[in-house]
Structure 1
Amino acid sequence: MLYSQDTSNILSYGENYYQPHYQPILEVTNCNIVGYEVLGRFYSPEKNEYRSLGYQFHNPELDTIRLIQIDRLIREKAIRHLKDTGLRTKLFLNMMPNFLSMIHTGDVLDLKRLHVLNLIEKYEISPADVVLEITEDKFDGSIEKLLSIVNVFKDYGFKIAVDDLGVGFSNLERIGYIHPDIMKVDIKIMRESLNRRSFKNVLSAIADMSQKLGSDLLFEGIETEEELHLALSMGANLLQGFYFSRPQVEFQDKKQFNRTLRDTLEKFSGLRFMELLEEFQKGQAVIDALGEKLEALRHNGKEDLPVVLHLMLPNLPSEILSVFACDIFGYQITPTYFRSHPGEDWDSDLTEIGNNYAWRPFFIRHKAKVVQNHAKWTVTEPVYDMDLHKQVVIFTYTLRDNYILVIKMDWERV
C-alpha cells in the first residue's frame, strides 16, 4: 500500500512509470483463465519494484484530474496490450462511479467523453471482451446519470460487474438499478468486517441473489484452499486471488492453473457429497425418531391436542427448543412450549395462541409438499436464530384433521 506522504511524488512521474498488471480470473466449469482484472501499478525507481496505486484511487484528497489521467493511461495500455497479443480473453476494467459522474455533467450524455468507447474503436476490440467493474466507492453523484452511462455501456455490448459487494455505497441500490452480469465478492474485505457466522450467512444470501438475478458470481481475494472451498460451496463460477496468481506484467497460459483447479474440484466434490449425505441422514434420523413419538398426536382432535402435547413434552428429544400446533389456515391453536437450551425444563406462552403463520415460507412450503407429495414432514434449511444465537431448523408435521405441528430444533446438537 502507498501512503499519503508518497503521493506528491507518485502522481508526478511520466507515462512510462504507470503500468497495468493483470490478475487472472478462472472459470470453474472449464478450469481455464477466461480473463484478467487490470490493476494499476507504479514503478518505484528508488526500490526497483512495482507498487499498487489502489490507495491513490480511493483517496478523496488527491488531485482527481491527475488520477483520471493515470486511470485512462493504464486502461489504454491494457487494451493496446490485448490488441498486440491477439489473445482472445476478457479484460476487467475498474470504473469508479465518481469518475463516471464527472463525465455526465449535463442533461445529455456526450458519448465522445466515454474514454473506453474511444479505446475499443481505436484498437478494434470487441466490447464483449471487456467487463466494466463498477467499483466500491463513496458515490455522491446522481444515480440516474450513472445508470444512463451504464445502459450505454450495455447497449454497446460490454458486460457489467458490481464490485466489492458488502462494502461501499449502497450495494443493494447498485444491484437493483444496474442488474449486473457479474456480482463480485471480495472474501478478504467481508471477512474483516463480519464475524465468521455472519460472514458465511451474508455470502450465502449474496449467492442466492446472484442465482435469482441470473448473474455470474465471482469470488476474489482467494488465498487458501479453505477459501476456495468456501467460494465453491457458495456456487461461485468465477475465481480470483493469490491462491492462483498475483497480478503479473503479462498474460498467462489459459491452462496455467487447470490441473490445480481440477484437483481441488474433485476433492471438494467428494467432501461436499459426504457433508450433504450426512445432513440428509441426520434429518431423516430426527424425522424417524420424532415420527414414532408424535404419531399418537394424530389421533387427537383440536380440544385434546394442547393437553396431549403438554403431556408428551418430557419424552421429546432434548434438541427440541419449541413446539406448537396450527390449523390448516396457519392460526396457532396451542400454547408455545419452549426452552432456551436443550434439556432444560419446558415453559409455555399462551399469548401466542391466535398468531398466524400462513404467510411464513416454511408453512406455505409444507402445505404445498403435503398436497404434491402426500408428505407428512418437511424440514427447512438451517437458519440462524438471533434470539437463541444458534443454528436451528423448523420441522413441520401434519396431524389428523389437517392440524400442523411446528417444531424448532437446535441443529448444532443434532
Structure 2
Amino acid sequence: MNIDPLDIISNMNHLLPFYEPFFSAEDLQIVGYEVMGKFREEHTDGDLDSFFMDQQIPEEYRLEAYAHLINRALDHFIQAQQAGFLAFRMDPNILIYDVEETIIKTILSKKEAGFLPSQIIFVLPEESLKGIEGSIEHTVQFIKTFGIRIAIENAESSGVRLERIAPLSPHFIRVHLSSLKSQSGTIGFDETIYALSSFARKIGATLMFDKIEMEHQLMFAWKNGGRYYQGPLLAKSSAVFEKKDKSKELLKKELSRFMSFEKKKLEALKALETMLFEDLNGLLDKYKHNHAFEELILEAAKILKDRAFRLYVCDDDGYQLSSNLLRQGDQWINQKEYLQKNWSWRPYFLENVFKMSRSKQGLLSDLYSDIETGEWIRTFSIPITNRFFLFIDLSYSFLFEEENLL
C-alpha cells in the first residue's frame, strides 16, 4: 500500500519497528534482528521499506523517519534486555545527507544504557551505491570510526559488482535467495555466490543469506558458507522479540539432513575418483617413458566410453602436449589446434598439478561450467609421470545419471 509521505511525517507515533531475526549457523540461535519500519493507524497498514528507499521523497523527510525508527527500536531493545545486534536497511544517500550526524547521535545517546554502536549494522543495497561511490566511501569510513558495522546487500538479480563493494570493506555481505524457490536454479547461481564468498574471505567479511522460504534455500546458504540466515522458513518479522532458541530444533534437523546428504555425496565422488584411477592406472604405466600421447588418449577413450567427452595431456607448466580428443555423438575427433595451448591461467591448475605430483593419485574437480559447451561438468586429472598429466572432462549426462555426482 502506498502511503503519503506527509502522513508518515505528520504521524510519527504510528511508525513502528518490527523485528526479523538473524539465526547463527554456529549455535543455531537468534543473534540479532533486522529492524523494519511499519506504519499503522486505523485505516492504513503498510511496510515502509519503499518509503525509506525512494529517492523521490526529500531526504529530510526520510532522515527524520529513520532517526525516529532507530530511536524507538533501540529503546525497545534496551527495555527488553536483549543481546546481539540490530540491523537497519539504509539508503546510503541518507547517510551522506546526514551532515549533522542525527542518526549517529541517536545511536551514541544509548551508550549510557549499555547499548554499544558495535551492535548496529547498516545494510546498504549495492545497487544504491551507483554514482555515489566516492562520497559513500568517505561516509562509511567515518561511520566505522564509531564502531558501527556495515553490510552490503547484493541482490542476486543485480550480479556481482565487486568494484563497488571492495572500497567499503564491509563487515558483512548479504545475499537474497528469493530467486531460488526452484531447486533447478541453484547451479547457475553457484558462480555468483562463489565469487562473493571468495571475495568475502579475502576481506574478512561474513556472508548473510535472507529471503529463505524453503529447505533447499537454507541448504544452499549453509553449503555456501553462510553464517547468518533470515527468512520466513525460520521466523517472520514481528513487533516483539522472539525466544533465542526459536527454530533451533528445525535448524538442527535440517543441518543434520544436509550433512548426511553431503557426506553421501563426498563418498560418491571419492568412489568415482578411485574407480577412474583404477580403470586408467594400468594404461598409464605404458606411457611413463613412451610419450605417444595421441595414442594414449585414444586408448583411454576406449576405456572410459560415454563417461568422458574430452581428453588431453598437459605438462606441469600447463602446455598441452596432445590434441583434444572430443566425442561428437558416437565418434571421437582430434582437434590438433589445441596443441601447445597453455592452461596454467585456469584457477587451481598449478595447485592441482602440484598435489598430483606429490600424491601420485587422481583428482576430481568441483562442478563448473565448461567454457566451450556451457554444460556443467567435472574434470578428472591423473598423473602419467611427475611432469605429464591426463585430463578427462566428464560429461553432464554421465554425472546426471549417477547418484550424488552433481
TM superposition score category, shorter chain reference:
0.7 to 0.9
Cα drift, residue 208 of structure 1: 3.2
Structure-2 separation of matches of 1:75 and 1:11: 15
In the TM superposition, what is the alpha-carbon distance from 1:38 to its structure 2 partner? Answer: 0.6
Selected match of 1:22 from 12, 19, 23: 19
Alignment of 1:92-171 (within 5 A): 92-103=87-98, 113-124=100-111, 125-167=115-157, 171=161
Cross-structure match for 1:208: 198
Q: Distance in 2 between matches of 1:29 and 1:308?
A: 49
Q: Which segment is superposed worse, 221-230 or 139-148?
A: 139-148
Q: TM-score, normalised by structure 2?
A: 0.88
Q: Which runs of 5+ in 1 are unaligned?
A: 104-109
Once the two structures are TM-superposed, the CA of residue 35 in structure 1 deviates from its matched residue by: 0.4
CA contact (8 A) 2:86 2:121 kept: yes
Q: What amino acid sits opposite 2:333 in the alignment? A: D
Q: Is contact 2:22-2:33 (8 Å) kept?
A: yes
CA contact (8 A) 2:277 2:382 kept: no
Aligned position for 1:306: 294
**Aligned equivalent of 1:382:** 367
Residue deviations 1:306-351 (CA, integer Å, cap 9, x gap): 244345543433121111222343222221111256xx31111111
Q: Residue 407 of structure 1: CA displacement?
A: 1.8
Question: Against the structure 1 CA distance between its residues 279 and 311, is the aligned structure 2 distance closer, same or farther, given a 3 Å change threshold?
Answer: closer
CA gap of 1:187–1:334, structure 2 versus 1, over 3 A, is: same
Alpha-carbon spacing, 1:75–1:170, altered in 2? closer, same or farther (3 Å): farther
Q: What is the rounded CA distance, in whole Å, between the counterparts of 2:236 and 2:140 in structure 1?
A: 29
> Distance in 2 between the 1:402 and 1:151 partners?
49
Give the distance between the partners of 2:127 and 2:48, measured in 1 at CA.
15
* Matched residue type, 1:278: A
- 2:360 partner SS: coil
Q: Distance in 2 between matches of 1:190 and 1:18?
A: 32
Residues 1:245 and 1:401: Cα distance change in structure 2 (over 3 Å): closer
User: Aligned runs of 1:253-268 on 2, under 5 Å?
Assistant: 253-268=243-258
1:270 aligned residue = 260
Q: 1:10 to 1:339 in 2, by over 3 A?
A: farther
**Structure 1 residues 38 and 282: CA distance shift in structure 2, 3 A:** same
CA distance in 2, matches of 1:292, 1:187: 47
2-structure distance, mates of 1:169, 1:305 = 42
Paired residue type of 1:354: Q
**Cα distance in 2 between the residues matched to 1:190 and 1:144:** 33
Q: Does 1:32 align with 2:29?
A: yes
Give the Cα separation in 2 of the matches to 1:285 and 1:396: 13
Going from structure 1 to structure 2, the CA distance change for 1:334 and 1:265 (only over 3 Å counts) comes to closer
Residue 359 of structure 1 and its aligned partner are, at CA, apart by 3.2
2:404 corresponds to:
none
8 A contact 1:79–1:119 mirrored in 2: no
Query: Residues 287 and 44 (structure 1 numbering): CA distance in 2 closer, same or farther, change over 3 Å?
Result: farther
RMSD (Å) for aligned C-alpha atoms:
2.6
Percent of residue pairs bearing the same amino acid type:
20
Q: Secondary structure at the match of 1:413?
A: helix
Give the equivalent residue in structure 2 for 1:408.
393
Counterparts in 2 of 1:135 and 1:357: CA distance versus 1, 3 Å: closer
Using the alignment, how far apart are the partners of 1:120 and 1:293 within structure 2?
70
**Displacement, 1:82?**
1.8
Distance change in 2, residues 1:311/1:24 (3 Å): closer
Cα distance in 2 between the residues matched to 1:285 and 1:116 = 62
* TM-score normalised by length of structure 1: 0.86
> Which digits, 9 at most, give the CA deviation of each residue in 1:199-224, with x for residues without a partner?
23322332333233322111111112
For residue 191 of structure 1, report the CA deviation from its aligned partner: 6.6
Question: How big is the shift at 1:81?
Answer: 1.4
Give the aligned length: 395
1:42 aligns with 39
**Which SS does the other structure have where 1:266 is aligned?**
helix
Shift of 1:278: 1.8
Would the alpha carbon gap of residues 340 and 160 (structure 1) be closer, same or farther in structure 2, given more than 3 Å must change? farther
Residues 231/328 of structure 1: CA separation in 2 closer, same or farther (3 Å cut):
closer
Counterpart of 2:231 in 1: which secondary structure?
A: coil
CA spacing shift, 1:412–1:237, aligned 2, 3 Å: farther
1:363-378 matched pairs, under 5 angstroms: 363-371=349-357, 373-378=358-363
* Deviations 1:252-303 (CA, angstroms, capped at 9, x unpaired): 22122222222222222222222222222222222222334444333413xx
Counterpart Cα distance in 2 of 1:298 and 1:405: 12
Deviations 1:118-150 (A, max 9, x none): 012222220121112122443355322211221
What letter corresponds to residue 58 of structure 1 in structure 2? Answer: M
| Stretch of structure 1 that moved more, 32-41 or 165-174 | 165-174
- State how far apart, in whole Å, the 2-side matches of 1:312 and 1:244 are: 50
Structure 2: which 5+ residue stretches go unaligned? 400-406
Is 1:349 aligned with 2:339?
A: no
Q: Which residue of 1 aligns with 2:67?
A: 72
Q: Which residue of 2 aligns with 1:321?
A: 309
Residue 128 of structure 2 aligns to a residue whose secondary structure is: coil
1:56 match: 51
Please give the alpha-carbon distance, in whole angstroms, between the structure 1 residues aligned to 2:191 and 2:397.
15
Aligned partners of 1:7 and 1:56 also within 8 Å: no
**Matches of 1:400 and 1:150, distance apart in 2:** 54
Instruction: State the SS of the aligned residue for 1:232.
Output: helix
Using a 3 Å threshold, how does the CA distance of structure 1 residues 189 and 66 change in structure 2: closer, same or farther? Answer: farther
